[in-house]
């Protein structure tokens, strides 16, 4: 079976992940996970893998059909100097995060879990990808203007690379789509292995 033939369910409300899967021709349903995301973990890679697994497992438990399927759970964090930057608590927190990123390189890690059933057998695959983002020096005016736009308030690390912030990104290393929220090429490769 090819991934394109499998019933795919995205366990995320993220419009960016939804759009990326559609762009890749991986058509799917959306079932937002209600998993508890309280995890005592400071290692970014371990954290996103645990959270992606919790999200996928919670949605998987709601599937009653006997058809083959895969739930895609995902979680993304930004980290710098060992500090994880989630979504900002408000405008001042967003400014604090952007000051941390100014003029420096930081990392974006997305964890993904595929949890489902093939030929009556439960299958689970969890993996993560890390990309590096280099940001130009930001003036206080640039930071304030960007925060005032509202764009950073619902995004990990207080920015979206696919939005107005792109003009401050000087270089990336790794998968661009991973930074947006889903490493699509890796997801496709893992889905092929999941189906085989």
As a dihedral over the C-alpha atoms of residue 167, residue 173, residue 178, residue 184, rounded to 10 degrees, the angle is 120
Of 15, 115, 123, which Cα lies nearest the Cα of 73? 115
Kindly give, in sequence order, each residue whose CB lies less than 8 Å from that of residue 145, ignoring residues fewer than 6 positions away: none
**Based on C-alpha coordinates, what's the Rg of the chain?**
17
Q: Which two tokens stand for residue 111?
A: 């964890």
Catalytic residue set: 75
User: Tokens 């890679």 label which residue?
Assistant: 45
Strand (E) or helix (H) holding 195: helix 184-195
**Residue 194 · residue 121 · CB < 8 Å:** no
Cα distance between residue 7 and residue 17, in whole Å:
17
Find the DSSP H helices in 1-125: 15-23, 44-60, 91-101
């Amino acid at each position: 079976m090819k991934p394109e033939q499998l019933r795919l369910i995205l366990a995320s409300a993220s419009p960016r992940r939804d759009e990326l899967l559609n762009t890749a021709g991986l058509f799917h349903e959306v079932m937002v996970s209600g998993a508890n995301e309280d995890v005592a973990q400071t290692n970014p890679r371990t954290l996103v893998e645990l959270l992606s697994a919790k999200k996928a497992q919670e949605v998987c438990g709601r599937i009653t059909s006997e058809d083959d399927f895969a739930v895609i759970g995902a979680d993304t964090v930004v980290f710098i100097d060992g500090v994880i930057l989630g979504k900002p608590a408000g405008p001042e927190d967003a400014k604090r995060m952007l000051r941390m990123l100014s003029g420096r390189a930081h990392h974006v890690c997305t964890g993904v879990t595929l949890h489902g059933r093939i030929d009556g057998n439960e299958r689970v695959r969890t993996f993560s990808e890390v990309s590096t983002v280099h940001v130009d020096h930001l003036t206080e005016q640039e930071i304030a203007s960007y925060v005032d736009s509202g764009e950073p308030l619902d995004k990990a690390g207080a920015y979206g690379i696919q939005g107005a912030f792109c003009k401050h990104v000087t270089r990336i290393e790794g998968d661009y789509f991973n930074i947006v929220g889903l490493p699509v090429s890796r997801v496709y490769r893992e889905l092929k292995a999941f189906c085989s």
